[in-house]
Amino acid sequence: MNALVFAAGLGTRLKPWTLEHPKALVAVGGEPMLGRVLRRLADSGLVERVVVNVHHFADQVEDYLEATDFGLDIIVSDESKLLLDTGGGMARAIELLGGGGEPLLVHNSDILTDFPIEEMLARHIDAESDVTLLAARRDSSRQLLFDATGTMRGWENLKDGTVLPRGLETGELHPLAFGGVHILGPRAQSALKSYARRQPEEVFGIMPFYIASCGELRIRAYEPSAPYMWHDTGTPDKLAAAEKEFEK
Give the chain's domains with CATH numbers. Answer: 2-131+180-204+227-246 (3.90.550.10)
What single-letter DSSP state applies at residue 235? S
How wide is the angle at C-alpha 28 spanned by C-alphas 23 and 33, nearest 5°? 45
Q: Which residues of 55-160 form beta strands (DSSP E)?
A: 73-78, 104-108, 111-113, 131-136, 142-146, 152-157
**Best CA proximity match to 103, nearest among 191, 1, 222, 3:** 1
- 171-192: per-residue pLDDT in tens? 999 999 999 999 999 999 999 9
Distance CA 57, CA 55 (A): 6
- 106-124: per-residue pLDDT in tens? 999 999 999 999 999 999 9
Phi, psi of 121 (to 5 degrees): -65, -40
Distance CA 33, CA 169 (A): 39
Answer whether 183's CB lies under 8 Å from 121's CB.
yes
Answer whether 44's CB lies under 8 Å from 117's CB.
yes
Distance CA 7, CA 64 (A): 12
What is the chain's pLDDT, residue by residue, as a tens digit (248 residues)?
999 999 999 999 999 989 999 999 999 999 999 999 999 999 999 999 999 999 999 999 999 999 999 999 999 999 999 999 999 999 999 999 997 789 999 999 999 999 999 999 999 999 999 999 999 999 899 999 999 999 999 999 999 999 999 999 999 999 999 999 999 999 999 999 999 999 999 999 999 999 999 999 999 999 999 999 999 999 999 999 999 998 86
**Best CA proximity match to 119, nearest among 131, 134, 104:** 134
Contacts for 126 with CB less than 8 Å, ≥ 6 apart: none
Torsion of CA 47, 123, 197, 88, to 10 degrees: -60
So what's the pLDDT on residue 100?
A: 74
Residue count of the chain, please give it. Answer: 248
So what's the pLDDT on residue 247?
A: 80
